[in-house]
A and B are shown apart, each in its own frame.
Chain A
Amino acid sequence: MKEILVASGKGGVGKTTVAASLAVFLSDRGFKLVTVDADVDAPNLSITLGGGKTKALHEITISHKAVINPEKCSNCGKCVETCQFGAVARLEKSEPPVIAEILCEGCGACVVACPEKAIRLEERRTGELRVEETKYGFPLVTGKLVLGEHNSGHLVTSAKKFGRLEAEKSGASLLVVDGAPGIGCPVIASVAGADYVLAVTEPTPAAKRDLERLIHVVKHFGVPCGMVINRADLSPKYRKEIREKISRKLAIPVLGEIPIDYEVLKALNSMTPIIRFNPEAKASKALKAIFKEVAETVLEGKAHA
């Protein structure tokens, strides 16, 4: 089983657009695959693929939250002192401390600290995993995090696990994973176990810096990586800087550039991957050349051109 992750550091540079078209391209090329939306905060791959028929919905309950029993609480305040996460506070002197569940990381330190055994951990929903059949013939597993949860990494890991199970069921041997922005917990969970990271960026100072941070994380995990410069004509200066200061310096090849193309916006709002919406669009042609390279080097064992 191979796993390709589309990631970016900065949000809004085109991860989901690239991931949706990549999945359609590889599927057209004959690869049996499963797509996974690992941007569990803001999962958008389903919309970009035009929605699908839900085959299964799984509740994921791996979070724990501390709960105080006010009957047993002696109001000693040890839990407030103990909590490293600022999730326990005393609002009124005469009342038991309040735990803000949304801030509670479920570590259980307050349970240990409480001399009255007045605090216990309770299970809470972390999120859901939805398995859909897309109109392109491959399934999509979407992770969706409960609002405000901190366990996004665990949910991403579960989403990928379900993606693999789905792949085994349908005889697929490839996962195409759409990652979250950032470089923290959910991104680390998506990079772990990936065979290749396709990093999407754009030629702006912010995207360049975020790309650099992402690549350091990807390299730390030893995962091979290539990059795509989206909206490449946005700034010649930063396009050059990304090529010279990041691609060359960090030895990450630029697989191609996608020009600014309003057809991409139209495709997004018609909820169709751009390479299907308008296969002749400038952006589609650029994407297909990039995907061909990904298919050949990552999946078909050829050397980089």
Chain B
Amino acid sequence: MRENEARFLNVKPVDVPVLAVTGGKGGTGKTTVAVNLAAALSMKGLSVLLVDADVDCPNVAVLLGIELKNGEEIRFFKPEIDEEKCVRCGKCAEVCLEHALVHAKDAVPAFFEELCSGCGACRLVCPVDAIKEGYKVLGKIFSSKTGSLEVVTGELRLTEARSPLVVKATKDYAYKMAMHGGYDLIIVDTAPGIHSSVVRALQGADFALAVTEPSHLGAHDLERILQLGKEIRISLAVVLNRADIPSGIKSRIYGLCDSYGVEIVSEIPFDEELLKAYVNRVPVVQYNLKCPSAQALSTLADYVSRRLG
């Protein structure tokens, strides 16, 4: 990646430290770590805004026992053709690379909404201004609060495919809140994987934690996220969850992190208490701060707070 692109990706519109929690593989404990860090730091007196940017399957609210209500629609451009004005030239269909507009000779172009990316090229090219601004709903944004912890959740509309745009809208919303919110820290929970939605969730973060587990699958997917981190020049550290599971391959994770020059900053032990807290929809640091996993997460929270000043 070129220098100026990396600079672009690392711009954030607010002067609040941003931590992202990611990991590559699904189900390694990203959301558990994000939620517990947010809860632990809130308990230590910090004002935290927790953003759920895993918009396909947002689970922050689920783990905090919050019911999502009164979401705000995320609207995105779609063309509406004024048939009276349309001169049937087909220019809009020519520039539509997604083939959402299809032009048969001498007819008003047909529109296939599922294919439309909302780019607006059709509107720019129409010589007679026959394309009006319509919209489609890509998802919803929910804002909620539990104790002193504030949460923003992005949720993709069912059967809608364009998750990255929902992530973008969710982060823009959170940044807007942060402009007058007086927050000490923003924590962003990302989707699994290394695709565009994850990039958009990581974009602008000062620092990211990659949560993994000591398995070959965990190692494989962690390596992909470490490569992505390097590519977009985001500084990363690793959290090894369920560090002591039977037949785990901890040494492989350590070897991998070594080769990327990335530090493993926390090992969270497998802990029945964590599971109980999870099923009860309470962060384990609130459920039982004395148990081993809560201790590890609380220590990790101290590390995050030092690291992000």
Contacts and interface: CB of A to CB of B under 8 A. Distances in A.
A31 B122 CA distance: 49
Interface in B155-198: 156, 158-165, 168, 191-198
Interface stretch (A52-60, A130-138, A201-209, A296-304): A201-209
Interface in B217-259: 217, 220-221, 224, 227-228, 231-232, 245-249
Contacts of A183: 56-57, 156, 158
A43 B162 CA distance: 21
Contact of B124 (A99, A103, A113, A265): A113
A204 B95 CA distance: 46
B227 A147 contact: yes
B292 interface: no
B247 A100 contact: no
Most buried by B among A101, A181, A271: A181
Nearest to B30: A11
Contact of B97 (A44, A98, A106, A152): A106
Interface in A96-153: 98-103, 105-109, 111-113, 145, 147-150, 152-153
Contacts of A152: 195-196
Contact of B5 (A85, A101, A262): A101
B214 to A, nearest CB: 9
B268 to A, nearest CB: 15
B162 A91 contact: no
B217 A47 contact: yes
Interface string A60-90: 0000100000000000000000101110010
A91 B281 CA distance: 43
A251 interface: no
B168 A85 contact: yes
A44 B221 contact: yes
B90 interface: no
Nearest to B94: A112
A150 B196 contact: yes
A44 B249 CA distance: 16
Contacts of B193: 39, 41-42, 180-182
A103 B197 contact: no
Interface residues of B, number: 72
A9 interface: yes
Contacts, number: 223
Contact of B31 (A13, A206, A234, A266): A206
* Residue in B121, B168, B245, B246 whose Cβ sees the most chain A Cβ within 10 Å: B121
Given A100-B9, A147-B227, A238-B279, A42 B59 contact: no
Contacts of B111: none
Contacts of A271: 216
Contacts of B162: 184-185
Contacts of B232: 102, 148
Contacts of A148: 194-196, 198-199, 228, 231-232
A93 to B, nearest CB: 14
Contacts of A109: 95, 119-121, 124
B60 to A, nearest CB: 9
B12 to A, nearest CB: 12
Contacts of A238: 279
B104 to A, nearest CB: 22
B275 interface: yes
Contacts of A42: 24-26, 192-194, 217, 220-221, 224
A235 B277 CA distance: 11
Contacts of A108: 95, 97, 119, 121
Interface in B10-68: 11, 24-28, 31, 54-57, 59, 62-63
Contacts of B199: 102-103, 148
Contacts of A217: 158-159
A11 B195 contact: no
Nearest to B223: A42
A210 interface: yes
B279 A262 contact: no
Contact of A89 (B11, B27, B28, B215): B11
Contacts of A91: 4, 7-8, 11
B52 to A, nearest CB: 11
A271 B25 CA distance: 17
A236 to B, nearest CB: 10
A262 B246 contact: yes
Contacts of A82: 120, 124
A181 B27 CA distance: 9
A47 B249 CA distance: 14
A265 B26 CA distance: 16
25 contacts: A11-B28, A41-B195, A42-B193, A85-B165, A100-B5, A101-B5, A102-B9, A111-B121, A112-B95, A112-B121, A181-B56, A181-B192, A184-B56, A184-B156, A185-B163, A206-B63, A206-B278, A213-B57, A216-B158, A216-B159, A217-B158, A220-B158, A262-B246, A265-B245, A269-B247
Which A-B residue pairs are the 9 nearest by beta carbons?
Answer: A12-B27, A11-B26, A41-B193, A182-B56, A107-B119, A150-B196, A184-B163, A109-B121, A185-B161
